[in-house]
Chains A and B, each alone.
Chain A
Amino acid sequence: MVKKVVIIGGGPGGYPAALMLAQKSVKVTLIEREKLGGTCLNRGCIPTKVMLHATHLLREIKSGGRFGIKTQKVTLDFSQLLRHRDQIVESLIKGIESLFQMRGIQVFKGTGFFETSRRVKIKETGEAVEADAVILATGSIPAPLNIQGGNGEGILNSDQVLSLKVVPPSMIVIGAGYIGLEFAQIFHCLGSRVIVIEMENQVLPKEDSEVATALEEALRQEGITIITGARLKEISGKEGHKVVRYLTREGKEVSLEAACILGAVGRRPRIEGLNLPGAGVQAENGKIVVTPSMETTSKGVYAIGDVIGGFMLAHVATAEGHTAAENILGNAQIMDYTAVPRCIYTYPEVASVGLTEIEAKNRYGKIRVGSFPLQASGRARIIDGGGFAKIITEDRYKKIVGVHLVGPHVTELIAEATVGLNLECTSEEIAFSIHPHPTLSEILMEAALSIEGYKVHSA
């Protein structure tokens, strides 16, 4: 019977696991270097969504003319935006702290490392905590740009870009994953001239190509320059005047200039300084190795979230934390990554769950694809949002294997598809569930109906 658990890291993996365990009469001690909430709350999901929301609002206000809303010149006070952003973050941190207090979870400030697999020491204070089980949830750090001049001045990562106090006149974003694209749109809307450079041949390289093409097109139309299939050669120049040299797809060498560079080429698990060998915990390729129960190579030591690699998403870390907690409590549970939603909060939003069309074809051979354009949705017309819904099923039973959405608020809609995938629904259950009208949620029903052979509101 586990009575005491130590959790290293208070991000979206560690802190929910602490709250779950504490409710089951486990004494939980959490060690956090900085503030509770981790990257998600302090340097990721939440602050970027505040900034994106401001840009969406700005766009909305500016487009009020079609409803007869007349505005004078609309401006955005960047420092007020930052203040508001930090206030939201602060209040959410307070929320976690009060939950911790209520559940009697002790928080040690400092950097934890293993003395043994059952004893964790805090570097700064020298205090040590013993436990029956340990959860490692140390998260990740932005990956550095691995090219010549990649760590020079004027090159920011996603943490540093949030500390900018003024909007730079221009910015080159390296990497067109979700982090790069979200920042590209934020700064574009704030007034920067933004160029995005991606090595792969599409933005969002891991996503369905139809989705990627739609978003790329929308961002281009807004005025963001996007270059794909580029091979980076070198970054040079001084702060305020940076130069990126790259080879185009055709092999032509091009140089581009901007006031600053944002490196958004992914994240790297934070495993340094943990003394993993001291606890018998193995890491491979810089990631901690875990079983599907989230247990490391050392019995009783679990690892969750970005530190084990994989999706590196807050909600996945939370789910992994739940799995680890359940196993610690003696309820055997394994992680299932079949239905992990992936969201990008740009305008238009992108949300997907499950397999892309190509992955589905490779997996199932014969598949069915049902789609529905947002132009055909009444509610989407009102909101003035373009995009589409696409549902992919295998052929035999029409089991839903992937759902891809582009359009306003689709990050909310993807939850329905996620439940569907998790329950192993077929297109039938979505198609013949009554969806409220007029809502955007109807697009899922319509896409499913088209798999069932009914194209009601589309050609």
Chain B
Amino acid sequence: MVEIVFLIPLLTGVMAFFLPRTAGRPLLVVTGVIHLVLSLYLWIQRPQALLETYFSISAEGLLSLLVISLLFFLISIYTAAYLKKIEIRSERVFTGSMLLFLSTMTMVTLSDHIMVMWIAIEATTLASAPLIYTHRSAATLEATWKYVLICSVGIALALLGSVLITLSMDIGGVDVPVAFSALTGEAGRLDPLWLKTGFVFILVGYGTKMGLAPMHTWLPDAHSEAPSPASALLSGVLLNCAYLGIFKTNKIMHAAGLAHFSNTILIVLGLVSILVAATFILKQTEYKRLLAYSSIENMGIIAFGTGIGGLGAYGAMLCLIHHSLIKSSLFLSSGNILLGYGSRLIIETGKLAGRMPKTFVAFFGGFAGISGFPPFGIFIGELFIIIAAFRSGHYIAVGIFILSLCVIFAGFAKHVMHISFSDVNVTMRMEEKLIMVWPQYALLLTSLVLCFWIPDSLYQTIIHAVNSIGGGF
């Protein structure tokens, strides 16, 4: 009964629309707990799915599922406290959409059928659109419109890509279910031309959702206009879900012996994303947009690492996990800053270290983690990617990669220093509360622990996942 993991949030999500206003807050936390327990059960037992043609458990799916579950649980605790602090006109829609969003993302991680994957990824767009529109201003309207339209059109292209892969099955005379696992087994008999075309369309489609440049234009708007817990979910786990679609298609490409083709495109798109992020981070004026561009950078790093392969693919997987943990903690901290200062502009925020010391520790720790300081996992991931790139002889690409990382670090550090220490005259609107800080601490601590000690089953799962795309030591 694998399906129950996404059916429960679906049920509670629908319930939240009809329950009284404040009942949604405990419901979020309760669903988070149940989801976490069920995910751990799946992780340990690895049961069979009821609808085997559509759903199955894969290594990469399980990794994403566990990350989603842990993140949602911690974010739900934060959200329950957050909702007490701010006025949201339609709180029922907000909590309901959060739960439906969780349900659809879980479905992405468990789906095996190509079309079901598409359905689930499109459903995440639809479930998260009301989250972005929560504050009902003209700017949120614009962000939601861009998000829904750009992502829907992008994902429509992914549907075309999926259809083209079924075409490659027709021409190759392969008669298996249209599932990733079955296709990976029969990949050698698929028609290579149409498989390549399908991969390009799927990469562009899901890449739009993942925030790869140049299809990233919706991302900074949506992430900055959404309420902070929603931004944390969007950035922490939604991008991973889209990456999962690309990862699984890439698996078919590798099994079909077309790895060189898919790797080259991934490297190029990854580098373009990192370059775009480097350009825009330097002159950023809002801290939530700064974090959004950092997400684009990290997605670029992950795509780049996947394209490099070998040790790089392992590094990309590490970056994926640690980016989720650290970036969601940063977005939650940015929610505290927004509540405290009442402004999104970097120039109007200052002396965070003195005014909100607990949030400052979380924010600064998150910054250190995301920009690749040694004790955090992103550092190890990036190091592996760089080593692998040198080994495989991509000298120019890795040069651009390292240079962009330096530029991004410089830009990011400048802004964070301003937020943390510069003197700005403002009256604080909120005292920080412990409950709105410790979820961030828990996320950062998890990331820190995972650097020094990776449980064996987690390590095996990561290795198992990256082996299929030519990764590993």
Whether A associates with B in a native complex is no
Using CB atoms and an 8 Å cutoff, list the residues of chain A in contact with chain B: none
Using CB atoms and an 8 Å cutoff, list the residues of chain B in contact with chain A: none
